[in-house]
Amino acid sequence: MKISANCFTRLALILALVTSGPLAFADQSQPLDLKDLGFTSEDTKASPETQKQLEERRFYLKQHQIWGLVSAGTMALATLSGGEGDLPPEHPYMAGLAFTSYAAAAYTAWAAPELKDEKVKGGSAWHRRLVWIHLPGMILTPILGYMAAKKFEKGEKLDGPEEYHKDLAGITAVSLLISAVTVSFEF
């Protein structure tokens, strides 16, 4: 088997890196610059409009986080206070509070300015996907709840779409809680 000179050169370089470390080859007389890492002067230039946009985005997303946690909590309380037929009087108030806090959370997420070239991935991507489950649920659940309450007041049996009020509320609450978890922990 014939070994080329190129192979010996590569092997010597690998051995030198392993034994003395990569910083042994760096010129330590000059400080490390961002240009050495591939950033251009345009990349590192200060931008007041970008800074303002980042501060505004941070404000709205912080509000979104707070209102999202409030709505998850009130949605859980409304779901747990629901029952079959004879509801406690606080159930509609809890549901109304959950709907209102959810609307505030949705508005603050919508109002946050988008960053250009932002790639949404990981937990944030799942957070955005789950909106397609809990947003329609938050719209339909109170409508079906109102329809169910009117039928209970009349003593009628739930035989239409209102019979799915409890199921839809549970699915909505679970998807809302999963949505909160996806951005709370790193996956």
CATH of the structural domain 49-184, one choice from 1.20.120, 1.10.3470, 3.30.60, 3.40.1000? 1.20.120
pTM: 0.71
Looking at every residue in the chain, the average pLDDT score rounds to 83
Report which of 136, 129, 147 is spatially closest to residue 171, judged by C-alpha positions.
136
Cβ burial 160-181 (10 Å sphere, 16+ → b, else e): eebeebbebbeebbbbbbebbe
Q: How far is CA 86 from CA 23, 28, 61, 148, 152, in A?
A: 74, 78, 39, 11, 8
Q: Where are the domains of the chain?
A: 49-184
Question: For 56-103, what is each residue's pLDDT tens digit?
Answer: 999 999 999 999 999 999 999 998 888 776 778 889 999 999 999 999
| CB proximity list for 1: less than 8 A, separation 6 or greater | none
Report which of 84, 90, 78, 89 is spatially closest to residue 138, judged by C-alpha positions.
78
Looking at 40-44, 96-100, 133-137, 140-144, which range is the least confident one?
40-44
141-146 — which CB contacts under 8 Å span 24+ positions? 141/95, 141/165, 141/168, 141/169, 141/172, 142/95, 142/96, 142/99, 144/168, 145/92, 145/95, 145/169
For helices 131-154 and 165-184, angle between their N-to-C axes, nearest 10 degrees: 150
Token reading at 122: 């990981």
Tally of CB atoms within 10 A around 52: 11
Please check whether residue 145 is in contact with residue 95, taking contact to mean a CB–CB distance below 8 angstroms: yes
Look at residue 42 in the predicted model and tell me its pLDDT.
75
Residue 140: pLDDT band (50, 70, 90) is very high
